Chain A
């Protein structure tokens, strides 16, 4: 009888030890957290919320340190509860950062697209003024202006390319520069047109 009780107690202790000894690192949660941080980097959080991303990286380091601390302990004393909690917090914050960065990126993309549209309109307006310009001797002064308008069109293609490559601020500011220059070209033509208004225009065959 005593022997049976002893055996039961020993079996119970062995089971308890086995249960304690089975504490495994929360691999899935950690992988999820790492993926979430990678997603935040991919969403260009480094560009749109650099400091928030740095904090995430800090949390990831903390999580790894906690894992190392537990892994270094004797297997029966390991406790991954804190690591699990850290991984869950990190995942939630990384997901939030993905959303924030995506929203900021979307906003920048829309602003760039609007700026390009405005630049296109400003160039079209300048080009239509160039087309209205008198020819003959008057063409001479417009020759350089025409070159400017053509150069602006080419530059707009570069702004468009920057937009396609995801360089939204570059695209936006370049488009803004193009708009302003196109406007000044238009103003120059308007002033010149005002001066030649009423003068005769004649076509010259060649020079």
Chain B
């Protein structure tokens, strides 16, 4: 069946094998909505590798502040600061934030420089589930430093149904 596109099951057996693989991959019964691909630790490592290339990422200099118990994953306040004099000679060029369990691993990239004065940024992010957050700072001397935070995400108590 050469004229059939790859996504289309061409026989009942193919269709059943496909669904079984999907259900097994999701790890849940078929009544649950399928989780989009990309939410894996490998995707996270891949995203970090894209930014740092061959360089080693060292622990330190970076502080990642997130409430340890998040009231609602839709809006999670986040602060990242990097210990740096922020001079022309020695400063933070960029801060990259990654997540582990959202549908895709990127959160934010911020470009700074000596004009910043202080390497501190704050924002609000979305977290799909309790997970590890990673912040990687790119310094002017080409080194990379990182910090991680383990966050627990709770949900609204009276589950909403109707708008």
Bound together: no
* A interface, CB within 8 angstroms of B: none
* B interface, CB within 8 angstroms of A: none
